[in-house]
Amino acid sequence: MSATWGRFVFAILCAGILAPDSSGAEAKPIHKVLLIGIDGCRPDAIEAAHTPHLDRLIKQGLYCENTDILASRETKGDTVSGPGWSNLLTGVWPDKHGVVDNSFKGSNYQEYPHFFARVKEARPESKTASFSSWPPIAEKILSHSDETINAKAQHAQDYLVADDELSTAAAKCIRAGKSEVVVCYFGQVDETGHGNGFHPTVKKYVESIERVDGYIGRLLEAIDERQKTSPETWLILVCTDHGGLGTNHGGGREKPEIRQVFIIASGAEVKAGKTSEPTYQVDIVATALDYLGIVPQANWKLEGQSVLDLKRSE
Ligand SMILES: [Zn+2]
């Protein structure tokens, strides 16, 4: 090989654009991300529930048991879904994205958009997909989505149907193989908590988590199939926007049952373990971008840290 040709091949390798050979043996797997959001899900209720799919993700992945839904500085956000999902999907806190309650007044998604915008800025060819049952996710927060299901649930019963349908659609999307980043949001756990109580001893609340676990099973089955048949490796993130106490969660900044939640980061390339290091909702976007190999630009002013390299305690 001539020195010039060698440098050329080296440059291609460094750029990471070497095409897979026909056998696929040398192909570097494409990194893809599935973000699963379960609204209003207390971590102690997951423990109480029979959730084989979540258990598998926790066992095989990294469980962050000390995730805060509020920033260490005062950012004026209430402990409700509007600011919570904005934190989780934009990667910045309410004093930047502007959403402090469920009115969405003052939102600044122009400057701090849904992270799909960041993925597409870095990689315009990337495809994104969003499936959700709480309408503001799709109608207020979401942008830059190539495939969107806004299941538009309003009442508790609607969420059961909507979550079921949207998980089937999301599994189909994963199987189709076009999307690099898929977000799947389930609303029924929060809805059941408001109706019956957010607590591991509340049967209906625990059962709603078990139902959602069944939907997560559909998504994981689709990912397992893709990983067997295609050069893809998925990171699966699971998170929530808040816990709950009694039948509410607003005004919960002094209440650990509301404020302290969890992050699960699981996948073939994630080292298993548990960490009690402080983690935050804004770490979700940082972790997704890290796994996709996207270095955040300074002018995005993102705030989180990737959880993937956190020290494991076991
Ligand atoms: Zn919520």
Rounded to the nearest angstrom, the distance between the alpha carbon of 30 and the centre of ligand 1 is 32
Q: Using 50, 70 and 90 to split pLDDT, how confident is the model at 156?
A: confident
Domain residues for 160?
30-300
What's the 134 CA to ligand 1 centre distance in angstroms? 9
User: For residue 176, is it within any domain?
Assistant: yes
Q: What is the CATH number of the domain that holds 264?
A: 3.40.720.10
Rounded mean pLDDT, 84-93: 98
201 occurs within a structural domain: yes
- What percentage of the chain exceeds 90 in pLDDT? 89
In a domain, 280, yes or no: yes
Instruction: Count structural domains, the chain.
Output: 1
Query: Does residue 55 sit within a domain?
Result: yes
More confident residue, 29 or 15: 29
Flag whether 13 is in a domain: no
CA of 216 to the centre of ligand 1 (A): 18
Question: How many A from CA of 40 to the centre of ligand 1?
Answer: 5
Q: Quick one: pLDDT at residue 25?
A: 52
How do residues 204-234 score in pLDDT, each as one tens digit?
A: 999 999 999 999 999 999 999 999 999 999 9
Ligand 1 centroid–CA 233 distance in Å is 30
**Residue 183 resides in a domain:** yes
Pick from 294, 10, 39, 15: nearest CA to 183? 39
pLDDT at position 241 is 98
Give the pairing type, strands 279-280 and 128-132. Answer: unpaired
The answer to whether residue 16 sits within a structural domain is no
Confidence band of 314 (pLDDT split at 50, 70, 90): low
